[in-house]
Amino acid sequence: MQKSEKEEMIKELSDKFQRTQTAIVAEFSKLDVETVTKLRRKFREAKVEYKVIKNTLAKRAAKGTSVEVISDDFKGPVALAISYDDVIAPAKILTEFVKDLETIKIRSAVVQGRKIDVEGVKALAKLPGLTELRGQLLGMLNQPASMLARTLSAPGSQLARVLQAHSEQGESK
């Protein structure tokens, strides 16, 4: 690789690291093509970028970014799972894959500028995702309105039932 290509790659990685919300460093070895393809597909569906990195270039690109706190883990064959929006998605996908495979090991992660270890990534994966949180929030926002509607309609429906019972009594006499 020529020096100009390296510089371009460092600049591109640095730009990505600037925008990163979550970056997880995973060590991998002896992965077959089918497994990598499945993993990449899951990441793509969740809008997470999965990149096998060249360690020296990634360390240089990480300087001055939030990813710098995990740059010490750029040793050996590693890949980065990078998310720009959803903080939880990469952790969920990787921990799910780690359960089934012993060839992938999570080393560490950075979440919104804070370094977390493997246990932190596992805890993060247990949290509800962005779509689940939005659904819960929407449910909480709708709950008072639906309770208000039931409360306001209760006296009218009670009055209707009393009038119905009264008219049925009048007809039976």
Q: What is the mean pLDDT of each run of 10 residues along the chain (173 residues)?
A: 85 90 88 86 91 89 90 89 89 85 86 90 84 80 75 75 80 64
Check whether residue 95 and residue 151 sit in a common domain: no
Kindly provide the b/e burial profile for residues 124-150, where b requires at least 16 CB atoms within 10 angstroms of the residue's own CB: bbeeebeeeeeeeeeeeeeeeeeeeee
Beta strand pairing call for 104-111 and 22-28: antiparallel
Domain CATH code at residue 113: 3.30.70.1730
H-assigned helices in 63-129 = 89-100, 118-126
Residue 155: domain span: 129-172
Are 68 and 101 in contact, with CB atoms under 8 Å apart? no
Are 42 and 91 in contact, with CB atoms under 8 Å apart? no
pLDDT at 115: 92
Check whether residue 117 and residue 138 sit in a common domain: no
CA distance 17 to 62: 7
Check whether residue 120 and residue 159 sit in a common domain: no
Check whether residue 57 and residue 99 sit in a common domain: yes
Structure tokens at 97: 């894959």
Check whether residue 152 and residue 108 sit in a common domain: no
Number of domains observed in the structure of the chain: 2
Check whether residue 15 and residue 66 sit in a common domain: yes
- Condensed to tens digits (0 to 9), the pLDDT of residues 117-144 reads 989 888 888 888 777 778 888 887 778 7
Q: Position 144: which residue type? A: P
Check whether residue 73 and residue 37 sit in a common domain: yes
Q: Position 36: which residue type? A: V
Check whether residue 151 and residue 73 sit in a common domain: no
